[in-house]
Amino acid sequence: MKVTGINMRNLLIVLCLLVLNTTALPAMADDPEAPPEYIADGLKLVPDTRDVSMVWLRPGVDLAQYQSVYLVEPYVAFRKDWLKDQNRGHPSIRITASDMEDIKSDIKGLLREVFTEELLAAGFTFAELRAPGVMIVKPAILDLDINAPDIQSSGTTDILASAAGSMKLYLEIYDSITEQLIVKAVDQALDRDAGQMQTQKRVANRAAAKRMMTPWAKALGRRFAAPAEASQK
């Protein structure tokens, strides 16, 4: 099955819409913080979703028809100027572009691991071919911000932080037969603050990333059901 990566044009469009709110309906004009009810692809905002703040679904699509998942390799991007800020803020260390690629590779692997574990637990199977009931899931981590990266190099000084950092989920889901976009989801996750400065080793950073990713995978496993809908199933 030929599956392309995240549609970067669509990704940029939806993020711009979230910032500018240019597609919100007039009824929402009194709340500048409200996400648009409809976005350019014709998807409609799903109200009161749990664990993911913004989900848009194509009207008329029943996600219950999808029992299998084709999970595309995740896309990962750091927060703008993250590398420059890290090296300027901590002169005793030197993070390289190669270090960033290693971190992104770790995050991709962890996201696949978390999504696979949670979706299997929710009763999904994983497919390798196009077929009815298969949805193509294209996840992305954007604005990845690691406060204290544990770079494995000699002479590195520990960096203290009260929280591991933050990341943003951007998710697209397509029908594998029609290739029609059926879902978009966006959410921001922040690691919990420990209340005191502490060394953030790789194990701690990985555990924090998993805590942030798991609710997203669980929400997908529930097919983004609203709390009231979920309790009726």
Region 101-107 average pLDDT: 95
Region 160-169 average pLDDT: 73
CA 160 – CA 125 distance, rounded (Å): 41
Torsion over CA: 15, 50, 168, 192 (sign): positive
Backbone φ and ψ of 169, nearest 5°: -90, 135
What pLDDT does 111 receive? 98
In CATH, the architecture of 8-219 is 3-Layer(aba) Sandwich (3.40)
Band (154; pLDDT cuts 50, 70, 90): very low
Q: Check residues 89 and 172 and name the one with the higher pLDDT.
A: 172
Torsion of CA 5, 206, 14, 16, to 10 degrees: -120
Percent of the chain with pLDDT over 90: 59
CA 216 – CA 142 distance, rounded (Å): 14
CA 10 – CA 7 distance, rounded (Å): 5
Residue type, 125: T
Band (53; pLDDT cuts 50, 70, 90): very high
Residue type, 54: M
pLDDT for residue 95 is more than 60: yes
